[in-house]
Structure formats: C-alpha cells, structure tokens
Amino acid sequence: MIGPASADLPVGFQIQIDQRCVRKGDLRTLIGGSPLRVLKLSDAALGMTSDDGRIEVCDAGTRILARRLLDAGIAHPRPMAGPHDGDVTIVIPAHDNQSGVDRLIAAVPGLRVIVVDDASATPLTVPDDGRSRVIRFEVNAGPAAARNAGFDAADTEFVAFLDSDTVPRGDWLMMLLSHFSDPTVGIVAPRIVGLDHGRRRPLRQHPVAAYANRFSSLDMGPHEGSVRPGTALPYVPSAAMVVRREAFDRFDESLRVAEDVDLCWRTHAAGWVVRYDPIAHVGHDHRQSLRALLDRRRFYGTGAAELASRHHGLAAPVMMSVPLAVAVLALLSRTRVGLAVALLLSGWIFRRIRIPLEGVPARDAVAARNVGRALGFGVLQMWSAALRHYWPLSLIGFLISPRFRRWLLHVAVTEAVVMWIRTRIDDPSSPMMEPLGYSVMRRLDDLAYGLGLWQGVVAQRDWSALRPVVTR
C-alpha cells in the first residue's frame, strides 16, 4: 500500500493543543505525546497560536506548525469541514441478524447501504427504497471477506463499516468525515458504547450486562488521539469505522479475529494516519450473558498469536526498556534489596528524562512525575501479564508456592482496584458499576482472554504472543 501523496493541511483547518501537555497555561514549552516529547515554541510560533492553544492553517508557517504538533501527538485536529455524506456508502456485514440489519438501516436514513449476507440460514432482506441492496454469500466466509466484498461493490470515495449489532447516534458521520479534510487520514473511528450509554437514568443492570456495557473491549475510552501500535490507542475496532478508498488495504480474509487490529497496523506502517474520535458515538448491543461475554473474550484472545506472527513485537504482553523492566521487577520483589535497586535505576531514568528538559520550568518536578508514571505503568503491565497472559504459569506458582500465592492474591485485588479508580477518574461522566462486581468480572475477563491466547499460541505453534519485548 502506498502512503498519502500529500501531507498539506487545507486552509481553514484548525488544531487544538492538548491542555494535558501544557504546564500552568504556558504554551511555550509543551510536554507530551507517545513517546514523550518536549517541544519549545518560538516567538513566531506563539504568535500563530491563540491564548487557548488553537492554531488555524492560513499560510505555510501555520501549516508546518500544525502538522508538527499533530504528528507529535501534542495537538488534536479541529477540522471545520469535510466530505459530504453523499460520498459515503455504509457496508454492513451480517450473518443471521435480520432484526439488527433492519434497526441499523433505519438509523442511517438517506445513506447508501450495502448489506453483505454472509450465508445466513434465512436470506437477509433490505427495504425496497432504492438506496439499499444485498450481496449474498452461499458459503460463510467471515466478516473480513464480507467487508471487502461490500467495499468492492461501493463506488464512493469513503466507506463506513458498521456491524449489524450497532446503532449510530446523532451526527456521528459528519464528525468522522470532517477528519478526512486532512489528506493523511486513512481511517477514522468513533467511540463504541453500550446501547444504554448516555441515558439520563441508566437502566438497572445485572453485573454482567453492566460490565459489558461499561468495559467492552470495543470501547477505546474517552480520549481522542491518533492510533498507533504500542500506545494507549493501539487500534480501533472494525465494528464501526470509516475508511478512505485510497488508503484501504483490505481486511486479511484469512483472519476470523483481530482483522481490524491487523488493518490498523498495516495502515499506520504505510504512512497513513488512523484517528479515534470519541465525540462520535455508535451504540453496540453487547452480549448480556456471562457465558457469551467470556466466550467472546476468549475468541478475541486467539487473535494474539496471529498478530504476533504478522507484526513482530507489536503484540507482546510486556513492552518496556531494560532499566525500567529491572526497576519494576525489583519493586515487585518487595524486598529491601529490590527497593534499593529500584531507587538506583529510577535515579538513572530520572537523569535521562531530565536532560532534554533543560530550560523547562520546574524541570526536576516534570522529570520526577514522568519517572513515577513510567514505574506505575510498568507495574500495571507486569500485573496484567501475570493475571492475563501468563495466568496458566501463575496458577502453577499459586499451587506450589505459599509466598507466590500471597503475592498473586494481593495483585489480583490491587490491580482491579487501581483500574476501577483509574477508569472512574478518566471518564467520570459514564455510569460506574460497584467495585466488587467489577473486580470479579475483570478477573474472569482476564482468564477468558488468556485462555484464548494460549489456545491460539498452541494452534499456531508460535510463542511470539507470549514473548516480552525489552529494549535498551
């Protein structure tokens, strides 16, 4: 696949500096992005920037500045216009879900729709309204093949993939299409939420349904950003996404799971931008029974081995530098020697972070905070790996070692509490389930995903998905 021919932002395109990258309202020094960057704006650049951190493209200087901040992950796009919805075809891959297809078509009035019937027992039908049609497979080929067939049948510049169990909301398409005014954007995806999300008085739900609606693996969270492997936004799900024809490299039809992750990573590698915009919402009819939910998590886990074999290192359960990995392991040992080693290595990491911060106000405080964040994230990675990816090995340790048993029980409780608190702080506007129910569901979720991961590893005879990546 060839990357975008031009990276020039159009006149009138605006960006907004992420306020999390700004210290005490000072726009001169910006700290953020992934990996962490420090950008110091010149007087000329500050002159192009409004007091609240907004920049509008109007000439070569603003165009270069806006692109640099976008690429660094320190600013987010605020496009003023984009393609028209007449430039879009909705593609719905479906198998035995006539009611979902009917509901979805009713939710996208006026848009062209192609339903790809993936060998349903009873052939799917669409309204005879001149805008909808069906392509039928006689043999089930999977969602990747169904989406590709719908894409091939469309003749528009943009194609929106929506699964038959989704329901778009409000001006979702307009919000997503505006991002394509940036010629480097190849894929844009909305936030996928439970159908009950956003009600003034959410329906009282069983813990399984509450967990499915609040902590779905399809929900990428409340923060916008560019999608890149190895970051907090590593992919977006194909249950709802819009693609540019020129950038679409087709779903891998040999994959029955993780085909969306594979597409995002290939698109990024080709030089296209993949963006996530959580302001646009698409509701999803999540699985409501414990068995169905856990079986789906297990199924998702089987895709890790496929991804690891195609994208070396990007699907690793743990990714960190050698000094950070040693410091985290030393901390987790909970010994005096371990604490001393962790402190020494933290000091060394502090010095490395501090060097590029020369001239930054409160330089030491900024460096110390980032060391703390790195250690905290590293500990969470290790905990998650022990509870999710390596739980069969953790189970063996649990059975034979009383000390490891105490450690694992402590980790199982602490990790759930930390993640519950983080989610509550991160997205306070969303309804929150009680912590005990969440903790139990999270542990079951991890066991199911880990079971699928090991199932995939054994089937593929490839252990890459279990191999940590530790860099210098």
| Region of residue 40 (left: phi > 0; alpha: psi -120 to 50; beta: else) | beta
pLDDT 10s digits, 430-467: 777 889 999 999 999 999 999 999 999 999 998 999 99
Strand partners, 226: 275
Reply yes or no on whether the pLDDT at 304 is more than 90: yes
Q: Are residues 448 and 402 in the same domain?
A: yes
- Does 93 share its domain with 157? yes
Do 211 and 152 belong to one domain? yes
Whether 265 and 340 share a structural domain = no
Q: Are residues 124 and 25 in the same domain?
A: no
333 and 399 together in one domain = yes
Are residues 403 and 426 located together in one domain of the fold?
A: yes
* pLDDT over 70 at 201, yes or no: no
**Is residue 313 a part of any domain in this protein?**
no
Can you tell me the distance from the alpha carbon of 451 to that of 20, in angstroms, rounded to the nearest whole number? 37
Does one domain contain both 220 and 326?
A: no
Instruction: Determine, yes or no, domain membership for 164.
Output: yes
What separation in angstroms does the CA of 234 have from each of 41, 248, 268?
28, 18, 10
In a domain, 462, yes or no: yes
Mean pLDDT check: name the lowest of 18-27, 98-107, 267-276: 18-27
How many alpha carbons lie under 13 Å from residue 54 in its C-beta half-sphere?
A: 8
Domain span at residue 277? 85-288
Same domain flag for 327 and 199: no
Per-residue pLDDT tens over the stretch 99-117: 999 999 999 999 999 999 9
Look at 6 and 90; give whichever has higher pLDDT: 90
Q: Is residue 2 part of a domain?
A: no
Select from 199, 133, 135, 213 the least CA-distant residue to 169.
199
Nearest to 185 by CA among 265, 239, 244, 228: 244
In terms of domains, do 165 and 72 share one?
no
The answer to the question of residue 225 being in a domain is yes
Query: What residues does 283 pair with on adjacent strands?
Result: 167, 193
Whole-angstrom distance, CA of residue 444 vs CA of residue 455: 16
For residue 7, being part of any structural domain is answered with no
- How confident is residue 205, by pLDDT bands cut at 50, 70 and 90? low
What are the beta bridge partners of residue 38? Answer: 31
By the 8 A CB rule, do 135 and 149 touch?
yes
Q: Are residues 245 and 329 in the same domain?
A: no
Instruction: Please report, rounded to a whole number, the percentage of residues in the chain having pLDDT higher than 90.
Output: 78
| Domains of the chain: total | 3
Q: Is residue 237 part of a domain?
A: yes
**Predicted TM-score (pTM) above 0.85:** yes
Residue 314 within any structural domain of the chain: no
Q: What is the CATH number of the domain that holds 265?
A: 3.90.550.10
Do 221 and 132 reside in the same domain of the chain?
yes
